[in-house]
Structure 1
Amino acid sequence: MIYLNLVNELICALCWGITIRLILIRHLNSETKVARFNTFAFVLMVVNLVVVLPIFAFLLKNLSIQSVSWLSSLVVATIDALSTFNLILFCIFSCCTRLQKCPTTVQDFLVLGAAVKHGQVPPVLATRLDKAINCWKTHQSAKIIVSGGNSTESKRI
């Protein structure tokens, strides 16, 4: 049982480590790569929900409550369940915001910037700009304001 607990915690850590890397470190230059990485992160979370969390439930039920393995299983399972729930809520919120229509009255659009490396616009910024342009087509009297700038210059000010 102790080895099952350690292996399960390792699988949990790998699933979350890779998922966090996929979310935070975006060096993707095409929508197909973004879709592939998002699909991979989704598969890791399904593995987490279908394999890791049920094994934690099994371990918590069958290990002695006074053991260190039970306590570590409880801590990791709690963090894992809360993190997975939060990621699911984030994905739902993200999908809902992408489906939102343009507001009926608009004065200006503010597009938040994102790091542009080697002259290439990252998919996050491209999506924001596309959304602003699509809304601007409906409200052409509005201005589009793009934020951001060179971070080395802003440090000197």
Structure 2
Amino acid sequence: MNVWVIVVGAISLLFGAYRLRQDLRDFFGAIFVSLGGLIGLGWLIIKFLEWTGKYSIIWPILLSYGGGSLIIIGTIWLLIKNTSVMESKEGRSTAGKLSLVMGVNLIFILVVSIFLYQFRGIDALHHINVILMTILMIDLTFTLLFLCYLLYSLFYQMVPIKEHMNYIIVLGAGIRSEEVTPLLRSRLDKGIRYYKKNNGVKMIVSGGQGPDEPISEAAAMKRYLLSQGIPEHDIIEENQSKTTYENMLFSKKIIEMREGDKDYSVMFTTNNYHVFRAAMYARRAGLKADGVGSPTALYFLPTAMMREFIGILSRQKVLVALICLFWIAVGWYNF
């Protein structure tokens, strides 16, 4: 591995660590740390292959060719298969096809990479190769960003939070009746677990009423908490929010009205795939709060994580534009 790649990896890791030391919810810090970690992992794998190559020719071949191919093909198959599982359990929806999109995307990356390698240096295909390379590099950049986001999301949930809390915010999720859904119930159950560990804690159930919801999510959550033996005086309804950002912002206003200038500690509960993005919204709302995630069915995770990542990119329009413009400029220069 080129020494400059190692230098870039080290700088990325240190810069990301510096940003995360100030706030673990920093998106760019998360991306830089993950990128540095991936480069370091790549270096270790290469060194391992070099070391094993001194003693056996079989291991490097299996790991670099057979193993790599099996991992890629297996990942593609699982993502495509997951789409049919999602449809059978959750019904047909556009979001439910996101794992199919990722699987097809990996096939595209694989096919285009092979094409560019096989037909490199052919003058008659120069312009086509440059266009394909530009598209491929844009695609690879966003795929790498998604991988970095995925890795840090997993890491963020492993960071321990404070034991004593004054407030627990339970983030709402869509309901179809006056009862909470299994997904929303898992968030509430997670909140109840921490409620029982903290004396004098208040639970804020946060979620407004959508156009297709019979009552507000907050009202449905309060009913569930009461049925689980949580005293009514320990439950606070926030029933105006429509988005995760509003969940955090409106809950913060309620807490500040109750606490004034006093110090307080807050945590929130949501599903595991949503924790890091929700923490980013808490940071944006000026609410110092970390979150814990309740378990999510495995078949739901690929689609959920991709949807979360798309949601983050929708708020990072400048970053998206810069990435696209950079690779287009490189392609134009080589055209």
Please indicate the TM-score interval, normalised by the length of the shorter structure.
Answer: 0.5 to 0.7
Matched with 1:33 is none
Q: Is residue 2:154 matched to residue 1:121?
A: no
Shift of 1:98: 3.1
Give 1:148's aligned residue. 207
Which secondary structure state, in structure 2, belongs to the residue aligned with residue 99 of structure 1? coil
Q: Give yes or no for the alignment of 1:94 onto 2:153.
A: yes
**Using a 3 Å threshold, how does the CA distance of structure 1 residues 110 and 96 change in structure 2: closer, same or farther?**
same
Secondary structure of 2:175's counterpart equals coil
- Does residue 82 (structure 1) correspond to residue 138 (structure 2)? The answer is no
In 1, are the aligned partners of 2:168 and 2:201 still within 8 Å (CA)?
Answer: yes
Query: Aligned pair in 2 of structure 1 residues 128, 143: CA closer, same or farther (>3 Å)?
Result: same
1:112/1:128 contact within 8 Å kept: yes
**Alignment check: 8 A CA contact 1:112 1:146 kept:** yes
Q: CA 1:45/1:66 → structure 2, altered by over 3 Å: closer, same or farther?
A: closer
8 Å contact from structure 1 (residues 107, 143) kept in 2: yes
Partner of 2:193: 134
- What is the root-mean-square deviation in Å for CA atoms of aligned residues? 4.2
1:97-135 CA-partner distances (Å, limit 9, x unpaired): 333434233110112212223555253x34433432232
CA contact (8 A) 2:109 2:140 kept: no
| Secondary structure of 1:144's aligned partner | strand
Q: Matches of 2:199 and 2:180 in 1, distance apart?
A: 27
Any idea what the Cα deviations from partners look like across 1:27-55, whole Å, max 9, x if unmatched?
A: 966xxxxxxx8xx67x8399459835743
Q: Find the aligned partners of 2:171 and 2:192 in 1 and give their Cα distance.
A: 14
Please say if residues 109 and 144 of structure 1, whose CA atoms lie closer than 8 Å, have aligned partners that are also in contact. Answer: yes
> 2: CA distance between counterparts of 1:141 and 1:27?
43
TM-score (norm 1): 0.53
Q: How many percent of aligned residue pairs carry the same amino acid?
A: 20
SS of the counterpart of 2:157?
helix
8 Å contact kept, 1:112–1:147 = yes
Is residue 104 of structure 1 aligned with residue 166 of structure 2?
no
Mark the CA change 1:97 to 1:129 in structure 2 (over 3 Å): closer, same or farther. farther
What secondary structure does 1:110 align onto? strand
Whether the 8 Å contact between 2:171 and 2:206 is mirrored in structure 1 is yes
CA contact (8 A) 1:59 1:70 kept: no
CA distance in 1, matches of 2:165, 2:145: 32
CA distance 1:144–1:78, change in 2 (3 Å):
same
Alignment length, in residue pairs? 123
Q: 1:71 to 1:133 in 2, by over 3 A?
A: farther
| Counterpart check, 1:44 vs 2:103 | yes
**TM-score, structure 2 normalization:** 0.29
Structure 2 counterpart of 1:74, one-letter code? M
Q: Deviations over 1:40-76 (max 9, x none)?
A: 67x8399459835743652684454974422331232
1:89 shift after superposition:
1.8
Higher relative contact order (CA 8 A, sep 6+): 1
**Larger-Rg structure:** 2
